[in-house]
Amino acid sequence: MSDNILLHICCGPCSLYCIDDLKQNTSLEVTGYYANPNIHPYEELMRRRGSTISACKAKNIPLIAEDFYNIQQWKAWESSRAERCRMCYTVRAEMTAKKAAELGFEYYTSTLFVSPYQQHDLMKEIFEETGKKYGIKFLYRDFRKGFREGQQQARELGIYRQKYCGCIKSLYGE
Ligand code: SF4
């Protein structure tokens, strides 16, 4: 039996290329995990949850889709954007590593690593540290070369593509 990986998914479009890459270039069994309390307002959290469900169906992988929502932690954040994003990556790494440990996964990673707009090296550090904390191996993949391809696939599949990062502050350009 092959090892398995819990893939944190931030949204449908970002997941398409990452799933292809993991299926084609590893022998891991992939399960998606949608857990993004940083996406605001609630309707948007559900819209991206829907895009993730569509993407996982199109790629034929199982998905665990949460609907955790937490606007207060982001709304009340007073420090810099860089520090806010660090907190945001940490929250999602923690949720995913914890879930992976609970369910007995060997590995975890995230579709956040496809985005050219995120702080890639910082995320790598956070996911590595969090994996160690929960006893889950972090599989690092630089998915960024497939960002455009994934967005193109989303267009072709008619999957919703959002226009802002996710939190209430990013909605207003902060
Ligand atoms: S801008 Fe994006 S990564 Fe940064 S805190 Fe907001 S949702 Fe999270």
* CATH number, domain containing residue 56: 3.40.50.620
Question: What is the total count of domains within the chain?
Answer: 1
pLDDT at 41 over 70: yes
Q: What is the pLDDT of residue 1?
A: 57
Q: pLDDT exceeding 90 applies to what percent of the chain? A: 99
Q: What is the pLDDT of residue 51?
A: 98
Q: pLDDT exceeding 70 applies to what percent of the chain? A: 99
| Pairing of the two strands 29-34 and 63-65 | parallel
Q: Which of 10, 14, 38, 172 to mutate to test the pocket of ligand 1 (most atoms within 8 A of CB)?
A: 38
By residue range, what is the domain housing residue 76? 4-171
CB 28 within 8 A of CB 22: yes
**C-alpha of 61 from chain center:** 15
139/107 Cα distance (integer angstroms): 6
Per-residue pLDDT tens over the stretch 8-38: 999 999 999 999 999 999 999 999 999 999 9
Distance 52 CA to ligand 1 centre (A): 18
Binding site membership of 38 for ligand 1 (Cβ less than 6 Å): yes
pLDDT at 2 over 90: no
Question: Which residue carries 């469900």 as its tokens?
Answer: 53
pLDDT at 162 over 60: yes
